[in-house]
Amino acid sequence: MHGTNNGVIVDAIAHSKGRLKGIALIRLLQSGRGWSKLSAPYRTPAQPFPYADIVPFAHTLVTAAPDRLVWGTDWPHVMLDASMPNDGD
């Protein structure tokens, strides 16, 4: 929703009086206490297909915790503002 602007979550954590915490995804995955789904690269890129700006992020996750990742499509691609992606791509 906010792209790469983390200001909303940082503000929420700052005003939560200790009830909320920000947890880095890679740290959570490497600790074995979390999983991440690799899907929908078309939802957050700044660049068009083949989403060159998202590829390094995906590679970082795969390198850091390959056994804590699952892949899936976002079919039927609800709430999509762009053209329908080809899941094969």
Burial class (CB in 10 A: 0-12, 13-18, 19+), 65: buried
User: Contact, 13 vs 52, CB < 8 A?
Assistant: no
In this prediction, residue 1 carries a pLDDT of 61
Locate the domains of the chain by residue range: 7-71
**Percent of the chain predicted with pLDDT > 70:** 96
List the one residue out of 32, 24, 23 whose CA is nearest residue 66. 32
Please tell me the pTM assigned to this model: 0.67
Per-residue confidence (pLDDT) for residue 66, from 0 to 100 = 95
**Catalytic residue numbers, as ranges:** 74
Position 62 pLDDT exceeds 90: yes
Collapsing DSSP states into helix, strand and coil, what is residue 70? strand
Average pLDDT over every residue of 11-38: 86
